[in-house]
A and B are shown apart, each in its own frame.
Chain A
Amino acid sequence: MDDLQKSTVVALSGMKAQTERLRVISENLANADSLAQVPNGTPYQRKVVSFKNELDRANGLTKVVVGSVRNDHSEFQRRYDPKHPAADSDGYVLAPNVNPMIEMMDMREAQRSYEANLNVITVSRSLLSQTVQLLR
C-alpha cells in the first residue's frame, strides 16, 4: 500500500475512535439528569473513554482504537429535592457525577481531533490525485 493511502487508513481509525468518544460524551450529557431511582440508589455514573494504539501488522501501521469505556468513580452530586421519590431523610437525591461544562470541553476536543484527521485525509488524497494528474 502506498504511504499516502496508509496515512488515510490511520486517519480513518482516528476518526472512528473520536466518534466513539463523542458517543460516550453524548451518553453522559443525555443522562446528566438521570437521578437515583430509590433512596441511596446510584444514579447514572459518568463514563470515560480511553484510547490505545494498535499495531496493524499487515500494513505496518499504528492505528488508534478505543481501549476501554470505564465508569468515572468520582463522587456523585447531591441535589436538594425533597419531593423526589428517591430523596433521603434530609431531602437530598444523588445526581450523576456529570459536569456539562466538562462534557462540552470534551466534545470540542473530540471535534477538533476528528477535524484534524479529516484534514490529514484531505491532504493525502489531494496529493495522491495530483500525483496521478502528472501522467496527463
Chain B
Amino acid sequence: MTSITSAISAYSALAKAVNGDGESGADPAAAVAPGGDFASVLKDATKSAIGALKQGEVATAAGIAGKADIREVVAAVTNAELTLETVVNVRDKVINAYNEIMRMPI
C-alpha cells in the first residue's frame, strides 16, 4: 500500500516537474524530493548493495593475496550476490508498479 502511494506521489511530482518545465530547468531531483520515498528508498538500497559488493571485492582481493580465509571470501561474495539480487528484484517491482500507474488512463 505504501509503495503504491509513494509511486503515486512520485508520479505527481514528476508530472509537476514536466508541467513546470520552463521554470525548473535546473533540478529534477528537487522536484522529485517532496515525492520522497521512492527515490530515497532506491538510493538507500543501492548504497547498501554497493557496500556489500565492495566488501565482497575486498575479501576476494585478500583471498587472492592469501591473507583471508577462503570461507570468509565465500561468505562475503555470497552476501554481495544476495544483496544485489534483492535490490534488483525490489527495483523491478517498484518500477513495474510505477509503469502500471503510468499506463493508467486518467
Contacts and interface: CB of A to CB of B under 8 A. Distances in A.
Say whether A associates with B. Answer: yes
Interface of A: 5, 8-9, 12, 15-16, 125, 128-129, 132-133, 135-136
B92 interface: yes
Contacts of A9: 75
Contacts of B72: 12
A38 to B, nearest CB: 38
Nearest to A131: B86
A94 B20 CA distance: 94
Looking at chain A's contact residues, the main secondary structure is helix
B69 A135 contact: no
Interface in B58-103: 69, 71-72, 75, 78-79, 82, 85-86, 89-90, 92-93
B66 to A, nearest CB: 15
A12 B70 CA distance: 10
Contacts of B92: 135-136
Contacts of A132: 82, 85-86, 89
A129 B88 CA distance: 13
Given A9-B75, A136-B92, A16 B82 contact: no
Contacts of A135: 86, 89-90, 92-93
A47 B86 CA distance: 46
